[in-house]
């Protein structure tokens, strides 16, 4: 079989005298090892559900909020992030609250300079976090939290659909 990449967009396949074209996105042509999928982060995070909260804990037996986000990003996205909620808020590009996506860090506090809690968005409405009840899933917009902002320390790869080979 002969495979030829043409400008990262098309692949020609020749085998036993047959020819075909597979249309691929540019993202599909990158090495899969460099791709990080949200499903990995979600799996690591949800495996910790029910673990107890302990101030200053970074896992794996107990967590505080920023220890939890640091642990999940390291083990689910192979991304080292800074330790505290305030440092995490200060270190990464912010996204508008209305643009929160799964995998974003969501920050809570009294102001941008007083961040005291962080969680990981599962979608626009729910997060997984470590708080006094342990690692739980709860609403981002719960009345007991004051959402200050969000950041995106990891850009997740989009799931790609493999194109069938046509001959």
Catalytic annotation, pick one of 64, 94, 129, 141:
129
Q: CA 72 to CA 59: how far, in whole Å?
A: 10
Q: Are 38 and 26 in contact (CB under 8 A)?
A: no
Q: Are strands 105-111 and 147-151 parallel, antiparallel or unpaired?
A: antiparallel
Q: Are 79 and 120 in contact (CB under 8 A)?
A: no
* Known catalytic membership, residue 117: yes
Catalytic annotation, pick one of 65, 90, 104, 141:
65
Q: CA 37 to CA 120: how far, in whole Å?
A: 14
105 CB-near residues (< 8 Å, 6+ apart): 69, 88, 89, 92, 118, 119, 120, 121, 150, 151, 152, 153
Q: CA 95 to CA 118: how far, in whole Å?
A: 14
Catalytic annotation, pick one of 37, 117, 125, 141:
117
* Known catalytic membership, residue 94: no
- Residue positions annotated with a catalytic role: 65, 117, 129
């Amino acid at each position: 079989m002969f495979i030829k990449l043409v400008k990262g967009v098309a692949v020609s396949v020749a085998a036993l005298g047959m020819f075909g074209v597979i249309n691929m996105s540019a993202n599909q042509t990158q090495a899969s090892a460099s791709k990080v999928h949200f499903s990995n982060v979600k799996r690591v995070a949800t495996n910790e559900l029910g673990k107890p909260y302990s101030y200053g804990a970074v896992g794996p037996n107990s967590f505080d909020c920023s220890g939890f986000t640091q642990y999940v990003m390291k083990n689910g996205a192979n991304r080292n992030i800074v330790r505290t909620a305030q440092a995490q808020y200060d270190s990464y590009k912010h996204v508008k609250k209305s643009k929160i996506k799964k995998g974003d860090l969501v920050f809570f506090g009294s102001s941008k300079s007083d961040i005291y809690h962080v969680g990981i968005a599962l979608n626009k409405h729910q997060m997984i976090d470590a708080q006094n009840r342990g690692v739980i899933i709860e609403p981002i917009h719960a009345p007991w939290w004051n959402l200050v902002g969000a950041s995106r320390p990891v850009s997740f790869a989009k799931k790609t659909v493999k194109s069938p080979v046509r001959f």
